[in-house]
Amino acid sequence: MGKYLAILHGTADHTDKAKLTDQQQTAFMHAWAAWAHNNEHALIDPGAPLFHKKRVTTQGIEDFTDTKTGYAIVQAETHHDAAQLFSDHPHIALMPGNSIEVLECPPIPS
């Protein structure tokens, strides 16, 4: 079994997010919970939202913004199998242009 990091990218700005009704937000959370339940066999870490970002470089620490909105960590037999777990994730249907990247996390060589 391999380990894979999923990075959720959102296209909504604050105006788009404000347009979501309470009912839509509740429906999304229920859909996410159902997705997590259906895939609990593969979830190592169900993830969390990503807020208040800092970038660290040799020049120092700075705030930044990007499209990353959340993450999850799963295990699967293959990279394709890991990506397939997210094919029906409610995040990709929430807003046009939303996406999920699935990255392989191989063991650190000894």
pLDDT tens track for 74-85? 999 999 999 999
Q: What is the pLDDT of residues 42-65, one digit of tens each?
A: 999 999 999 899 999 999 999 999
33 — pLDDT class (breaks 50, 70, 90): very high
Question: What's the pLDDT score for residue 102?
Answer: 98
Percent of the chain with pLDDT over 70: 100
Residue 62 within a domain = yes
**Cα-to-chain-centroid distance, residue 65:** 16
Give the integer Cα–Cα distance in Å for 12 and 48. Answer: 17
Residue 110 within a domain = no
Give the integer Cα–Cα distance in Å for 67 and 70. Answer: 9
Question: CATH code at 34?
Answer: 3.30.70.1060
Residue 19 within a domain = yes
Which domain range does residue 76 map to? 2-104
Residue 68 has pLDDT above 90, yes or no: yes
Residue 109 within a domain = no
The total of structural domains in the chain comes to 1
Residue 16 within a domain = yes
